[in-house]
Structure 1
Amino acid sequence: MEPYSKAEEISHTRLRMELDKKFKVLCLHGFRTSGNFLKKQISKWNPSIFQQFDMVFPDGIFPAGGKSEIEGIFPPPYFEWFQFNKDFTEYTNLDECISYLCDYMVKNGPFDGLLGFSQGATLSALLIGYQAQGKVLNDHPPIKFMVSIAGSKFRDPSICNIAYKDPIKVKSVHFIGEKDWLKVPSEELAAAFEDPVIIRHPQGHTVPRLDEASVKQLSEWSSSILEDIKNADDVAKASNVEKPSEGNTVAESGENLVEQIAA
């Protein structure tokens, strides 16, 4: 068998890198739980759904300020992202939380998508809505998709008038429980997105176990996300590749490919 030429070796290396590439997802846990707890919650889903995604599960920046609903179910410590009043119209430490998450995303990203449960989902939608309006994450690539589980909208008009000013155009899937006390707010959040995918389940305020139909629906959705990202990457790469001038050798083309891969 003839040995690979330098250009062919570079081509194969590039192909392997593309196949191995994982797309980063920032996963934000619910109120007074933890990143590890959300990771355990998501683990009940078929692992094939997110096999090409690098799921990152940070903890909230504030220690739980009261009793956690998962005490005795999952070990501490527990955290919260921010605090709020009973009507969810007034918030404490929200600006600090947003600044922390924006810094985290820039330093540890870039992140292609966000996934959140309850308070984490509410925050995720806020970050995406704010980014779309140019309020935050101007030094981070646009978030491309979101998975919302039992999320809701903020109710403060000063937030709503920015975050949900226009339909949020990233691809989104929303899990809404029939017995969830946040069922209606979850539906209102889904309505803030353009062409949302809604997956309903009979359970309450939880990360649901998925039936066969839901697994199929979520798998198809995640596959379409991957296809969109890869197509966008291909377009970006094509626009950055200069046509070789006459007289360029195969070796020179190979060196250009090396530079593109390293970039």
Structure 2
Amino acid sequence: MEDQTQRKPRILCLHGFRTSGEILKQLVLRWPEPVIQNLDLVFLDGQFPSQGRSDVEGIFDPPYYEWFQANEDFSEYRNFEECLAYIEDFMLKNGPFDGVLGFSQGAILAAALPGMQSQGVALGKVEKIKFLIVISGAMFGGNKFGMPKLASNAFSKPIDCLSLHFIGEKDFMKEESVALLEAFQNPVVIHHPKGHTVPKLDDKSLEIMVNFTDRIQRMI
């Protein structure tokens, strides 16, 4: 008889700028049980303690973290290589991971990982990323964000990685999130009416999400 206890897709979850894995966990776990019960979600804190005020102070408790830093116009980055090494080390010790979920700064980072991995400049010691869930994402080298050196070829060709993108109608990152879609082959999209947040799922979004989780379950 076929084993019915098939493992769940294991997903590394990368939080937003100056927040934390715990904060992202609270937001994601608001999703309905039919989604959450089929995913093995692992929430990681960024390596660097927040170097300034967090936009979520007074809403979510500290501590807050950053994945990497940039100058004011996002033309130069610091600690990007260290960030990638930190994530790879965690994946080696706690994996294997099937996919990556990211929100905001974590989504910008997540979106670049498959391209950097295929170029051989990042995550060379871990299994290929099979899928992404990108919430309020953007592309390095787009209109708003410069390009870290290691990511310079991350989007040089269409990314052949199954991807689900959440785009908020009132999100200040909406334009960048829409532009990011062009970097991926056949992206799946959930539009929601909210701003820069991890949205709750309405009936239509839930249907798209369940279909996506069914697809990734078949991939692993």
**CA distance in 2: counterparts of 1:189 and 1:85, whole angstroms:** 22
* Alignment equivalent of 2:51, drawn from 53, 65, 87: 65
TM-score by length of 2: 0.92
* Alignment equivalent of 1:110, drawn from 84, 96, 101: 96
1:52: Cα distance to partner? Answer: 2.5
Q: Does structure 2 conserve the Cα–Cα contact (< 8 Å) formed by 1:50 and 1:222?
A: no
- Does residue 154 in structure 1 map to residue 140 in structure 2? yes
Q: Does structure 2 conserve the Cα–Cα contact (< 8 Å) formed by 1:175 and 1:199?
A: yes
**CA distance in 2: counterparts of 1:31 and 1:25, whole angstroms:** 19
Q: Does structure 1 conserve the Cα–Cα contact (< 8 Å) formed by 2:137 and 2:180?
A: yes
Q: Does structure 1 conserve the Cα–Cα contact (< 8 Å) formed by 2:121 and 2:150?
A: no
The one-letter code matched in structure 2 to 1:227 is: R
Partner of 2:168: 177
The number of residue pairs the alignment matches comes to 215
**CA distance in 2: counterparts of 1:90 and 1:200, whole angstroms:** 31
**CA distance in 1: counterparts of 2:193 and 2:107, whole angstroms:** 19
Q: What secondary structure sits across from 2:101 in the alignment?
A: strand
Larger Rg: 1
Q: Does structure 1 conserve the Cα–Cα contact (< 8 Å) formed by 2:167 and 2:190?
A: yes
Partner of 1:207: 198
Q: Give the number of the structure whose residues are more often helix, by fraction.
A: 1
Q: Does structure 1 conserve the Cα–Cα contact (< 8 Å) formed by 2:14 and 2:106?
A: yes
Q: For the aligned residues, what is the CA RMSD?
A: 1.5
Shift in CA distance, 187/160, structure 1 to aligned 2, threshold 3 Å = farther
Query: Which structure has the higher relative contact order (CA within 8 Å, separation 6+)?
Result: 2
Identity of aligned residues (%): 49
Q: Can you give the 5+ residue segments of structure 1 that lack an aligned partner in the other structure?
A: 1-11, 230-263
> Where in structure 2 are the equivalents of 1:1-263 lying within 5 Å?
15=3, 19-155=5-141, 156-157=146-147, 158-159=149-150, 161-229=152-220
Q: Does structure 2 conserve the Cα–Cα contact (< 8 Å) formed by 1:132 and 1:168?
A: no
Q: Does structure 2 conserve the Cα–Cα contact (< 8 Å) formed by 1:89 and 1:154?
A: no
Q: What secondary structure sits across from 2:16 in the alignment?
A: coil
**CA displacement 1:113-150 (0-9 Å, x = unmatched):** 00000000111112221012222222211110000000
TM-score by length of 1: 0.78
1:104: Cα distance to partner? Answer: 1.2
The one-letter code matched in structure 2 to 1:106 is: L
**CA distance in 1: counterparts of 2:75 and 2:52, whole angstroms:** 20
